[in-house]
Amino acid sequence: MIHVNSIDPRTKLFFVAMVSSIAIITNDIMVLIGLFVLSIVALFLLGGFSISLFYRFRKLLFVILAIALVQSFFTSQGSSILQIGEKVILTDFGILRAVQFALRITIVIISSLILITSSSRNLIQGLLQFKIPYEIVFMLSIAAKFLPILRDEMVNKVIAMQLRGIDFNRIGLRKKIALYRYLLFPVTINSLLKSKDMSVAMEMRGFRAMDGRTSYRSLKMKNVDYIIIFFSLIIGLSLVVFKIVKGGI
């Protein structure tokens, strides 16, 4: 098992970008299955794969299958496999489309899981070393930090409302909608006031005071990173060449 922390986040970013792009462009089912297997293996090697994943994602899997089947239902090309009287329900082409869709989505999901095996601070550093402007990366990290706080605040507010004696089960729909004002209004104002305070604190810590900035942390690519990138490129290019040779993506 490759040690999770030792793979540079940029390698993962590269791998994921490559896999996702090919998955979205290609229609070839073999390619998609190949990419799917490749990403599962990658996730496994990074230690991000566990049986509990299936458990947590089971609802999502149902949704994907449902959407896939609906898609196939509305695709009338191809020869029919299942029909009720005159109405065609499933066609072979439709099922193919459904499988492609399901594979694509799953590949994208697995890609995000691969990214999450790096700590958020390493990912951010990776983005920075890819020369994405600090302001943008910084804003992303602040959003990532505050979204859970915002969610907690909403949850607490809903609890607090009930503790003022308001029973959600007993009030009518119109009043429930009116309650939203009391939920959203304070949260919005609080967020605005907090961001004002935060911007003062940021400015007093020198944010954007000077044209550049130094970086305490730095990521260094190791041999294993270059190997992975190299092989990813080879596989990616082979797939593309294979497609072109076979005649059209």
Partner 1 sequence: MDDAMIKIDRISFGYKKGEELFKNFSLSLNMKEITVLLGRNGSGKTSLTKIILGILKPPIGEVWIKGTNIKELSLGQVGSIIGYVFQNPDHQIFGATVMDQLLWTADFLGQDKEYIGQKANSLLKDFDIEKLVDIYPYQLSLGEKRILTLASAMISDPDYLILDEPTSSLDPDRIRILSGYIRSIHKKGTGALIITHDKDFAMEWGDRIITIDEGKIKDDTCK
Partner 2 sequence: MISVSIKNLSFKYTKSDWWNIEDFSMDYEEGSITAIVGGNGSGKTTLLRCICGISPRIYKGEIKGEVRIYGRDISTLKIEEVIQDIGIVFQNPETQIFLSTVEDELVFGPENLCIPRDEIEVRLNETLDLIGLNHLRYKNPVDLSGGEQQLVTLGSVLMMNPRVLLLDEIMSWVDSTRQIEIREILKVLKNNGKTIIMVDHQFENIELADKVIRM
Name which of partner 1, partner 2, none residue 188 binds, using a CB cut-off of 5 to 8 Å depending on partner kind. Answer: none
Q: Which of 85, 165, 172, 212 binds partner 2 (CB under 8 A)?
A: 212
Q: How far apart are CA 76 and CA 214, in angstroms?
A: 59
Q: Which of 65, 70, 160, 200 binds partner 2 (CB under 8 A)?
A: 200
| Beta carbons within 10 angstroms of residue 30's beta carbon | 11
Q: Which of 108, 161, 202, 221 binds partner 1 (CB under 8 A)?
A: 161
- What is the phi/psi pair of residue 56, to 5°? -70, -30
Give the largest CA-CA distance in the chain. 74
The span of 4-12, 36-44, 198-206, 230-238 binding partner 2 (CB under 8 A) equals: 198-206
What residues numbered 143-172 form the site for partner 2, per CB under 8 A?
144-145, 148-149
Q: What angle do CA 130, 135, 137 make, to 5 degrees?
A: 50
Question: How far apart are CB 156 and partner 1 at their closest, in Å?
Answer: 4
- What is the phi/psi pair of residue 84, to 5°? -110, 105
Name which of partner 1, partner 2, none residue 141 binds, using a CB cut-off of 5 to 8 Å depending on partner kind. Answer: partner 2
Q: Which of 27, 83, 119, 162 binds partner 1 (CB under 8 A)?
A: 162
Q: Distance of CA 22 to CAs 120, 179, 227, 234, Å?
A: 25, 47, 20, 13
Query: Quick one: tokens of 177?
Result: 């909608």
Alpha helices in 84-222 (DSSP H): 92-116, 120-129, 134-163, 173-203
- What is the phi/psi pair of residue 45, to 5°? -65, -30
CB of 194 or CB of 246, closer to partner 2? 194
Q: Does 153 bind partner 1 (CB under 8 A)?
A: yes
Burial of 108 (0-12, 13-18, 19+ CB in 10 A): middle
What residues numbered 182-211 form the site for partner 1, per CB under 8 A?
182-183, 185-186, 189-190, 193
Which of the 8 DSSP states describes residue 219?
A: -
Q: Does 146 bind partner 1 (CB under 8 A)?
A: no
Query: Quick one: tokens of 232?
Result: 């990813």
Name which of partner 1, partner 2, none residue 167 binds, using a CB cut-off of 5 to 8 Å depending on partner kind. Answer: partner 1
Q: Does 121 bind partner 2 (CB under 8 A)?
A: yes
Contacting residues toward partner 2, per CB under 8 A: 119-121, 138, 141-142, 144-145, 148-149, 194, 197-210, 212-218
Contacting residues toward partner 1, per CB under 8 A: 153, 156-157, 159-171, 175, 178-179, 182-183, 185-186, 189-190, 193
